[in-house]
Amino acid sequence: AQTVTQSQPEMSVQEAETVTLSCTYDTSENNYYLFWYKQPPSRQMILVIRQEAYKQQNATENRFSVNFQKAAKSFSLKISDSQLGDTAMYFCAFMKSLGRLTFGEGTQLTVNP
Amino acid sequence: DVKVTQSSRYLVKRTGEKVFLECVQDMDHENMFWYRQDPGLGLRLIYFSYDVKMKEKGDIPEGYSVSREKKERFSLILESASTNQTSMYLCASSLWGRLYSSGANVLTFGAGSRLTVL
């Protein structure tokens, strides 16, 4: 079975600074997807970024980028130029087939003014 | 704008009651999912469905059942609610596709239903 671990329950960052959220996973599969989802306070979960395991190039979406280390089974999220609206719970997730996602425990990120 | 709508945002029920959580999506998605979210545990998959009348157990199906009679609607049923089922329940949907299909396998979530069982 796949497991996803987020070892940082809470993090904080000053507005405009950069923060990195960690995620590790365990799988014997070679083909899979990795995701970061964001859940703002009292709002629904939305996709931040995703990475196909066969791609060596790290995915980027505006201020969000990932550092995907397949051999190390590590998938960290970097948020540059942090904004107050980035305050949210962030979940790392793994998918191998049929849309089934396995989520990590979540990291609560607070951006301070 | 694509949407997944969960019928109740907050519910309070008594132990032993039968509880229905409804989810409707308007995106013609094949896959639908029910997760529960608990602090420190992340989201855990209860059941999912990849077609009408089809269902598959997730990681924590005990105490739950589901129904999918129409493509757009996926219901979660607690036959006899218990206090340990107090949680946030999230519904999601996605297009079916092979693993790396463009647009497939990205989940769209509902706003969640917070259930309290007393």
Distance from CA of B109 to the nearest CA of A (A): 6
Q: Tokens standing for B75?
A: 């219901």
Measured between beta carbons, the chain A residues lying within 8 angstroms of B107 are 37, 45, 47, 99, 101
Distance from CA of A43 to the nearest CA of B (A): 6
Measured between beta carbons, the chain A residues lying within 8 angstroms of B31 are 98-99
Write the DSSP symbol of residue B93: E
**What DSSP letter does each residue of A72-93 carry, written as one string?**
TTEEEEEE-S--GGG-EEEEEE
Q: What pLDDT, on a 0 to 100 scale, did the predictor assign at position B97?
A: 66
Write the DSSP symbol of residue B22: E
pLDDT digits (tens, 9 = 90+) for A51-101: 989 888 999 999 999 999 999 999 999 999 999 999 999 999 998 876 788
For residue B52, the surrounding DSSP H or E stretch is none
For residue B66, the surrounding DSSP H or E stretch is strand B65-70
CB of B39 closer than 8 Å to CB of A6: no
How many whole angstroms separate alpha carbon B62 and alpha carbon B35? Answer: 13
- Round the average pLDDT of chain A to a whole number and report it: 93
Least CB–CB distance from B105: residue in A33, A46, A105: A33
Q: Which of B43, B96, B113 to mutate to test the interface with A (most CBs of A within 10 A)?
A: B43
Q: What is the CA radius of gyration of chain B?
A: 14
Q: Which residues contact B1 (CB under 8 A, 6 or more apart)?
A: none
Measured between beta carbons, the chain A residues lying within 8 angstroms of B35 are 103
In order along its 118 residues, chain B shows pLDDT tens digits of 669 999 889 999 999 999 999 999 998 888 999 999 999 899 999 999 988 989 999 999 999 999 999 999 999 999 999 999 999 999 999 887 666 666 667 889 999 999 999 9
